[in-house]
């Protein structure tokens, strides 16, 4: 645990990613390249891979820490360790960005919303000229809440799909030819297929997928998950979450570097 609270030698400003089993993440490389390209000095970005959310308290003790991203599985559970959260993050109950203010207050935001909307909207406008389609959201965690927020904003009807039956949720066993004919957009918000477990995918009846479908995977490593490969084989339009990652990361940087401490 010493790693979390030690002073990073030669660095004044520390940022990072908080999650569990996140060695696959591209976030560190993204920010290190950004620091180099934009001549941002005395800054570093670390991967804080912690086994339980309570360890975040040790990370927050590092006085060099100015902000962090949050990923699976802590986007919801981190909220109780924060002092304040933005209205959007509060409305969906999910945080993926934390800003540490000058007086060490920890404020939570959600940039997944903007990242997904900008990445998704242009494709939908291009491939779906009529708003008579519906979407399936695979998974019910923090990431899926940002997706549902955007779909509501775009007035796209959607249905959650979960591993366990809950009120108003479908389960994977419910999915059939008729449902996939109705739901043309399928968005994977689960970690299934993430490196190194690249041979996993959500259990869909892929035989009913067609060129009328659009499959979006929040996973970006590997570049083409088994979920996307199976859909592409049936002619579906596919997209991974890499653009969303970059868009939300840039928005995170803006939040960390705003002069005001207020939301």
**DSSP H/E element including 65:** strand 65-70
The C-alpha atoms of residue 93 and residue 76 are separated, in whole angstroms, by 6
Contact 96, 69 (CB under 8 A): yes
For 30, the token pair is: 């993204």
**239 catalytic residue (yes or no):** no
**DSSP H/E element including 25:** none
Residue from 46, 66, 75, 145 carrying the catalytic annotation = 75
Tabulate helix, strand, coil % of the chain (nearest 5): 35, 20, 40
The C-alpha atoms of residue 193 and residue 225 are separated, in whole angstroms, by 6
Contact 97, 109 (CB under 8 A): yes
Q: Which residues are catalytic?
A: 75
């Amino acid at each position: 645990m010493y790693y979390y609270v030690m002073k990073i030698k030669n660095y004044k400003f520390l940022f990072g990613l908080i999650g569990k089993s996140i060695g696959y993440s591209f976030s560190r490389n993204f920010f290190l390249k950004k620091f180099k390209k934009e001549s941002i000095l005395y800054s570093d970005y670390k991967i804080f891979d912690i086994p339980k959310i309570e360890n975040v308290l040790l990370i927050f003790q590092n006085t060099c820490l100015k902000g962090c991203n949050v990923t699976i599985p802590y986007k919801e559970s981190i909220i109780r360790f924060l002092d304040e959260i933005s209205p959007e993050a509060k409305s969906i109950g999910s945080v993926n960005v934390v800003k540490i203010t000058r007086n060490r207050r920890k404020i939570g935001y959600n940039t997944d919303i903007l990242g997904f909307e900008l990445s998704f909207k242009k494709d939908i406008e291009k491939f779906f000229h009529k708003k008579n389609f519906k979407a399936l959201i695979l998974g019910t965690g923090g990431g899926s809440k940002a997706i549902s927020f955007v779909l509501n904003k775009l007035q796209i009807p959607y249905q959650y799909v979960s591993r366990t039956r809950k009120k108003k949720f479908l389960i994977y066993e419910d999915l059939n030819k008729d449902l996939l004919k109705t739901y043309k957009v399928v968005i994977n918000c689960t970690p299934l297929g993430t490196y190194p477990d690249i041979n996993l995918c959500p259990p869909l009846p892929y035989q009913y997928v067609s060129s009328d479908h659009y499959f979006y995977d929040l996973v970006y490593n590997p570049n083409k998950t088994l979920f996307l490969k199976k859909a592409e084989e049936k002619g579906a339009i596919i997209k991974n979450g890499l653009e969303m990652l970059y868009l939300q990361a840039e928005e995170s940087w803006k939040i960390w570097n705003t002069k005001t401490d207020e939301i």
